[in-house]
Amino acid sequence: MRTSLFIILILVLIGPGLTWTQTAYLDYNPRISAFTDRMKTMGYFELPNASVRYLSIEDLLSAARATEVLSKTDQYELNSLKKNFPERYILNPELDDSELFSQKGWLNTFYRDLYSLFLLKTDNFFLKIDPVLNIALGDDRHDSKLIFQNTRGIKIRGILDNKVFFYSSIYENQQRFLSYIEDEIARSNAIPGQGFYKPYQSGIINSLNGWDFLNAEAYAGINISNSIDLRLGQGRHFIGNGIRSLLLSDYANNYFYLQFNTRIWKLHYQNTFAELSATSSRDNPGNTLLPKKYMATHYLDFQVHPNLSLGLFETIVFSRENHFEFHYLNPVILYRSVEQLLDSPDNAILGFNIQWIPKKKYQIYGQLLIDELKTSETFAGDGWWGNKVAYQIGLKKYDLFQIGNLDFQLEYNTVRPFTYAHRSDNNSAIPTASYSHFNQPLAHPYGANFREFIVSFNYRFNEKFAFNASIVNSNYGDSNLENVGKDILANYENRSSDYNNFTGQGDQNDIFGLQINTNYEFLPNGFIDLTFLHRRRSLESNPIDKNDYLGIGIRVNAFHSNLFF
């Protein structure tokens, strides 16, 4: 990544002599994502290229300016969205920013704006600081141990000279998960979405134990021109319009990346170059560096029509001895051609994304991923192992049954065996080029060899109360004796068979999950949650494990995450 740092240095040195517009990005917030998706599908927002999930603040606020008369609840959400982004006063200097500091606050310094712990705005500098709190406690009647979460942290974002934007967050966590997540931690030697972790034992309550881990995310960005911006950071990304993504999701741990975003006409072209870890820290004992691998990704989103966007995705994962493969720095070439030039040692993946709004209140979306495909074998119908494909199809309906703010989503995902996996190279016992990071999939949490249905209902009773119910019904095949294609970390050359492969092969695992969450916003960005979860897994139709969880939590500037996968 020395080349990336050199690029950053050059841009910083030449920056003061250039005139640029500024662009900053949203940090991950599912509430904002759901609301902007609703507004776009209802016809209120003209928000282009929304399949690139982490939207720019400039695009979001521009869309929010031209809004028709909304329901009382939607208007409340829109006002909250705007107040959460005081950057609007920098993007629109003509706005009166006196309301930003309309409160006396604490010590005449903190919470002078109800949506920010601390705000600083000058002619050439903007800074926003907020605390993060997520405390939850619950009981699973099938587990004798207490389920809990204790997260504290801070989020910072800012803009310098209307050219450089930055974001940073750090969370300190102590947590014990539900039993099926604990099983996944034991299997993969990794906590989903996290990095290094260690055992935790309360010094006050002897029975309170779990895991202790830190999560830090940060980036700095600069606008190279009116059309191109660059970000250097530690984080993760999501591409798509669904609950899951089969192209690139935010399920895995944060990774180091260099990213270019180019916006021209109706196009949003994103180049991401990332450094990944081939294993988790638990698989790499001692004070030695984690083995490295790399990822290079292109994603081109074309807003064909205000109601139709098409996306083309390609990525390649590869391993080199302590260096990046410079061939993949080319921002416009097809990676498959480079891979063939290098004698095909790497894992190349191609994908497509679509979002279509056929009429107001309806949205259809989908993805197709091709890891490997041979046309003759596909039409032969004999289950050749190398036909490694995945697809997603989904439907969103807003104001279901003409009930205001009752939103419905149905999604189907399926991935064939051995998709995302790769072979081991000569220098490693593990397939370092698998589509994974820190022992965690970069796409769907299940890996491969599965089918999944998800149904979700969201209902806002009023401005303060919200309700969500999600149902998952999935089936996957696995085996403790042979490689049937579920584990993307396994060497696909050790597969069980070349032919007669099918989705779900192996021992049949059936999962049913129901999660219900009700939350009340007792202060700006502060929520009280009541959560119920029922989950059961059956192996070959025999019940294996079961969860019935009831919990309560309080969170500030934090989001509520689904407890099952």
Question: What one-character DSSP code corresponds to residue 141?
Answer: T
Q: What is the pLDDT of residues 310-359, one digit of tens each?
A: 999 999 998 876 666 666 766 665 655 555 555 567 888 999 999 999 99
One-letter amino acid for residue 454 of the chain = I
Q: Where would I find the H helices in 313-458?
A: 335-341, 375-380
Tokens of 471: 């149902």
Q: Residue 10: pLDDT above 60?
A: no
| pLDDT given at position 4 | 45
Partners of 160 in the beta sheet?
Answer: 125, 164
Q: Return the axis-axis angle of helices 72-83 and 57-65, rounded to nearest 10°.
A: 140
List the structure tokens of 299: 């994603």
Does 115 have pLDDT greater than 90? no
Helices (H) and strands (E) in the chain, counts: 8, 22
Which helix (H) or strand (E) segment holds residue 79: the answer is helix 72-83
Distance CA 453, CA 393 (A): 10
User: HEC states along 332-371?
Assistant: CCCHHHHHHHCCCCCEEEEEEEEEECCCCCEEEEEEEEEE
Cα separation, 530 vs 546, whole angstroms:
20
Q: Which residue has the tokens 């696995």?
A: 478
Q: Which of 209, 172, 162, 178 is nearest to 194 (CA)?
A: 172
Percent above pLDDT 90 for the chain: 54
Q: How far apart are CA 273 and CA 5, in angstroms?
A: 12
What is the model's pLDDT at position 339? Answer: 55
**Residue 430 vs residue 247, higher pLDDT:** 247
CB 563 within 8 Å of CB 550 = no
pTM metric for this prediction: 0.90
Q: Residue 559 to residues 27, 49, 377, 424: CA-CA distances in angstroms?
A: 11, 24, 45, 38
For the chain, the average pLDDT equals: 86
Give 61 or 367, the one with higher predicted confidence: 367
Note the Cα 87 to chain centre separation in Å: 24
Which of 234, 202, 187 lies closest to 215 in space, CA to CA? 234
Q: Give the pLDDT score at 81.
A: 84
Band (133; pLDDT cuts 50, 70, 90): very high
* Full set of structural domains in the chain with CATH: 2-556 (2.40.160.130)
Burial class of residue 188 in the structure, from the number of CB atoms within 10 Å of its CB (0-12 exposed, 13-18 middle, 19+ buried):
buried
Q: How far is CA 104 from the centre of its chain?
A: 37
CA 426: distance to chain centroid?
33
Q: Check pLDDT > 80 for residue 109.
A: no
Which residues are CB-neighbours of 331 under 8 A, at least 6 positions away? 260, 271, 298
Is the per-residue pLDDT at 15 higher than 50? no
Contact 447, 57 (CB under 8 A): no
Higher pLDDT, 109 or 184: 184
pLDDT of residue 3: 45
| Helices 30-42 + 72-83 axis angle, to 10 | 130
Give dist(CA 465, CA 455) in Å, integer.
21
CA–CA distance, 420 with 60 (Å, rounded to integer): 33
Q: Assign 457 a pLDDT band (cuts: 50, 70, 90).
A: very high
- pLDDT computed for residue 97 by the predictor: 72
212-223: per-residue pLDDT in tens? 999 999 999 998
Helix (H), strand (E) at residue 184: helix 179-188
Q: Around Cβ 432, how many Cβ atoms within 10 Å?
A: 26
pLDDT tens, position by position, 491-516: 998 898 999 999 999 999 999 999 99
Res. 489: pLDDT tops 70: yes
Q: Which of residues 155 and 329 earns the better pLDDT score?
A: 155
Tokens of 485: 């294609």
Residue linked to tokens 């009023």: 462
Residue 359 contacts by C-beta under 8 Å, 6 or more apart in sequence?
none
Nearest alpha-carbon partner for 281 in 189, 200, 193, 214: 189
439 vs 278: CA distance, rounded Å: 7
Could you tell me the pLDDT band of residue 375, with boundaries at 50, 70 and 90? Answer: confident
